[in-house]
């Protein structure tokens, strides 16, 4: 045994083996020539190294058409009518996912062989029965690595969990399969799942396909990248602090965080004491997609069935009919009322974010039957981030810390100053935090409703448009405060990300300082992303700028509707409802 081998920490050979096994899942004919691979580590002088268009150089015309030309609804229709077979669709998406992996390192478990085999079985079923297996027959999907799939690792980037395959599927995975989906891959996540940049010691860092100098986001970072690269038709992530909405923002796609109880969550890789989520804050599962319409089609099939599969889901329907072609809401004449909320009081938004909020507000005002109002920051929203941070750490991260130390893994740089093993909080402390949460929930109700002199309440606000973050897509390891996303999980409000446009040089105000009063430590860190002595603002040019749409608790279908109106407004579409497949 060599001295080098003797000096290795236990995690290192596990990581090498895992990466080799992953690479072996890519057929040799799908391997890219070295000259098209981006240069790493990325440097400012290399530029953004945008790879979104690289796959089309190595796909057939048919594969390009399959992966680029369809919505979920039209793809399902093409498969059901036998214009396309499930097998050729699965092969096209697997090929594209393999290319995406080589360019961005977005996958943990390529499931290409099993996906193609599953697709063949679906083709046989359609031929023999004359009808699709289920409502999502042949739909290629991907899932975050946290979701258990029987016989496949849910390592979440920890060497300790490698080569310990799941014994059964996560509930949502089983639901997707029951409807005829084809799962093409599992996707990369950050170490501890508590970071907003997807890097771990086992699989490495997932890179942003638009700009390699910027983060791909987390914790569903691999999912956001794969959807942006069109390596799956739609992806399933999870969200507790922003882990669906942030990757959607970073990769210029759509993210949807539902209310708790809408989609099954059980069967995730266990990262803490079992059941701890029910004492603190519960994460939710939700889609990352290419369009609002695709989100609508998927949720229409999943939500009404969720309570049949998940013990954590409530029975609820989802409209089968096309959305109303006219915006409707709680306004005095039935108009949709949208409030623009610019800051959470913890961070002052940077100029590109302010510009986009101005533009979206103006575009919505030009939309028939929509009223836009400016909202002052509620004091409760400012306080939410602190309470959320405390509730998320009530278990002391003991299990996560023990799994990391078991194989002597180092903490990745971003986590090194932020993660430490603590002690579980006593029940009385958890109850105290939950009481603070309840008080914030009651206080936040006041932005949605009006109370008359007789004590009767009516809704006066239908939705909020606010930032996903106070800054543009930041440099690698540069993501700042998550209060603008985590707060909505604390309050259990449905929230989604809608891309608006790319950042332009005119947004940068080069040579001009931010000004204004520093609001606190989070704001101080946020200002570093605009301080030209610390950050070259030119890094932001060409990266996506998005907004977040939020609606009251349990109004998930309303969120899809409002996201559709926002998306139509920014695209200049007049009276364009979310379309229905039925």
pLDDT digits (tens, 9 = 90+) for 535-550: 999 999 999 999 999 9
Residue 156 pLDDT greater than 90, yes or no = yes
- Domains, the chain, ranges and CATH? 56-570 (3.90.1300.10)
Residues 127-147 have pLDDT tens digits of 999 999 999 999 999 999 999
Q: How confident is the model at residue 249 (pLDDT cuts 50, 70, 90)?
A: very high
Any binding-site annotation on 193? yes
Residue 213 pLDDT greater than 70, yes or no = yes
Q: Average pLDDT in the 419-448 region?
A: 96
Is 219 labeled as catalytic in the residue annotation? Answer: yes
My answer on whether omega of the bond before 41 falls inside 30° of 0, hence cis, is yes
Residue with the bigger pLDDT between 246 and 580: it is 246
Instruction: Identify the active-site residue in 219, 232, 486, 487.
Output: 219
Residue 97 pLDDT greater than 70, yes or no = yes
Tokens of 389: 């941070």
Instruction: Identify the active-site residue in 220, 243, 291, 546.
Output: 243
Tokens of 330: 């709680």
Residue with the bigger pLDDT between 575 and 217: it is 217
Residue 581 pLDDT greater than 50, yes or no = no
Dihedral angle computed from the Cα positions of residues 474, 476, 480 and 484, in that order, rounded to the nearest 10 degrees: 60
CA–CA dist 106, 97 (Å, integer): 9
Any binding-site annotation on 242? yes
Residues near 441 by beta carbon (within 8 Å), at least 6 away in sequence: 491
CA–CA dist 275, 282 (Å, integer): 10
Residue whose entry in the numeric block shows the structure tokens 């990757």: 247
Task: Quote the pTM value.
Answer: 0.96
pLDDT of residue 573: 74
Residues near 139 by beta carbon (within 8 Å), at least 6 away in sequence: 72, 75, 76, 179, 180, 181, 182, 233, 234
**How many helices and strands (H and E) does the chain possess?**
18, 15
CA atoms within 13 A on the CB side of 558: 19
* H/E run at residue 125: helix 112-129
Any binding-site annotation on 198? no
CA–CA dist 161, 201 (Å, integer): 12
Query: Which residues partner with 341 through β-bridges?
Result: 375
Any binding-site annotation on 219? yes
Residue 212 pLDDT greater than 70, yes or no = yes
pLDDT of residue 580: 36
Return phi, psi of residue 94, to 5°: -65, -40
Residues 322-346 have pLDDT tens digits of 677 789 999 999 999 999 999 999 9
CA–CA dist 411, 409 (Å, integer): 7
Bridge-based pairing of strands 495-502 and 182-187 is unpaired
Any binding-site annotation on 69? no
Q: How confident is the model at residue 84 (pLDDT cuts 50, 70, 90)?
A: very high
**What average pLDDT is seen over the chain?**
95
Any binding-site annotation on 339? no
Q: Average pLDDT in the 346-373 region?
A: 97
Residue whose entry in the numeric block shows the structure tokens 């932001």: 540
pLDDT of residue 139: 99
pLDDT of residue 5: 55
Is 178 labeled as catalytic in the residue annotation? Answer: no
Portion of the chain with pLDDT greater than 70, in percent: 97
Q: Is 205 helix (H, G, I), strand (E, B) or coil?
A: strand
Tokens of 100: 């995406």
CA–CA dist 239, 98 (Å, integer): 26
pLDDT of residue 322: 63
Is 144 labeled as catalytic in the residue annotation? Answer: yes
Residue 1 pLDDT greater than 70, yes or no = no
Portion of the chain with pLDDT greater than 90, in percent: 93
How far out from the chain centre does Cα 179 lie?
A: 22
Tokens of 320: 């089968």
Instruction: Identify the active-site residue in 18, 85, 86, 144.
Output: 144
């Amino acid at each position: 045994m060599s001295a080098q081998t003797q000096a290795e920490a236990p995690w290192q050979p596990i990581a090498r083996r895992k990466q080799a096994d992953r690479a072996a899942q890519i057929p040799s004919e799908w391997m890219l020539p070295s000259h098209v691979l981006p240069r790493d580590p990325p440097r400012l002088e290399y530029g953004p190294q945008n790879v979104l268009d690289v796959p089309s150089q190595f796909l057939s015309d048919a594969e390009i058409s399959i992966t680029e030309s369809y919505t979920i609804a039209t793809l399902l229709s093409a498969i059901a009518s036998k214009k396309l077979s499930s097998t050729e669709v699965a092969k096209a998406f697997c090929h594209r996912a393999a290319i995406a992996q080589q360019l961005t390192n977005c996958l943990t478990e390529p499931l290409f062989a099993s996906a193609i085999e599953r697709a063949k079985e679906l083709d046989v079923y359609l031929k023999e029965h004359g009808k699709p297996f289920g409502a999502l027959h042949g739909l290629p999907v991907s899932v975050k690595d946290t979701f258990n799939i029987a016989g496949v690792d849910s390592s979440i980037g920890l060497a300790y969990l490698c080569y310990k395959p799941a014994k059964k599927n996560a509930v949502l995975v089983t639901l997707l399969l029951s409807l005829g989906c084809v799962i093409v891959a599992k996707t990369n996540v950050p170490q501890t799942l508590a970071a907003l940049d997807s890097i771990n010691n086992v699989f490495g860092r997932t890179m942003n396909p638009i700009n390699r100098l910027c983060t791909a986001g987390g914790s569903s970072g691999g999912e956001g990248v794969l959807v942006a690269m069109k390596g799956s038709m739609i992806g399933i992530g999870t969200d507790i602090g922003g882990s669906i909405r942030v990757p959607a923002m970073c990769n210029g796609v759509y993210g949807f965080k539902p209310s708790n109880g809408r989609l099954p969550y059980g069967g995730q890789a266990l990262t803490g004491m079992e059941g701890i989520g029910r004492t603190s804050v519960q994460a939710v599962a939700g889609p990352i997609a290419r369009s609002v319409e695709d989100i609508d089609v998927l949720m229409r099939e999943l939500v009404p069935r969720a309570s049949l599969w998940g013990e954590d889901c409530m029975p609820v329907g989802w409209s089968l009919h096309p959305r109303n072609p006219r915006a409707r809401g709680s306004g005095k004449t039935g108009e949709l009322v949208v409030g623009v909320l610019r800051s959470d009081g913890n961070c002052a938004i940077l100029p590109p974010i302010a510009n986009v909020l101005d533009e979206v507000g103006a575009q919505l005002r030009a939309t028939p039957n929509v009223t836009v109002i400016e909202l002052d920051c509620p004091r409760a929203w400012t306080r939410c981030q602190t309470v959320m941070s405390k509730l998320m750490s009530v278990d002391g991260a003991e299990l996560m810390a023990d799994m990391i130390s078991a194989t002597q893994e180092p903490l990745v740089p971003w986590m090194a100053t932020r993660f430490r093993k603590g002690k579980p909080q006593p029940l009385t402390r958890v109850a105290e935090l939950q009481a603070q949460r309840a008080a914030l929930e009651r206080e936040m109700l006041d932005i949605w409703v009006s109370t008359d002199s007789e004590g009767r309440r009516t809704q006066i606000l239908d939705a909020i448009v606010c930032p996903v973050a106070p800054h543009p897509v930041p440099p690698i390891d540069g993501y700042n405060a998550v209060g603008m996303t985590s707060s909505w999980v604390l309050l259990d409000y449905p929230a989604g990300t809608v891309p608006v446009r790319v950042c332009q040089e005119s947004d940068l105000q080069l040579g001009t300082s931010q000004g204004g009063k520093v609001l606190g430590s989070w704001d101080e860190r946020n200002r570093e992303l605009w301080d030209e002595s610390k950050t070259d603002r030119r890094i932001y040019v060409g990266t996506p700028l998005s907004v977040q749409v939020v609606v009251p608790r349990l109004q998930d279908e309303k969120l899809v509707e409002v996201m559709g109106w926002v998306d139509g407004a920014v695209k200049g579409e007049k009276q364009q409802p979310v379309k229905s497949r039925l």
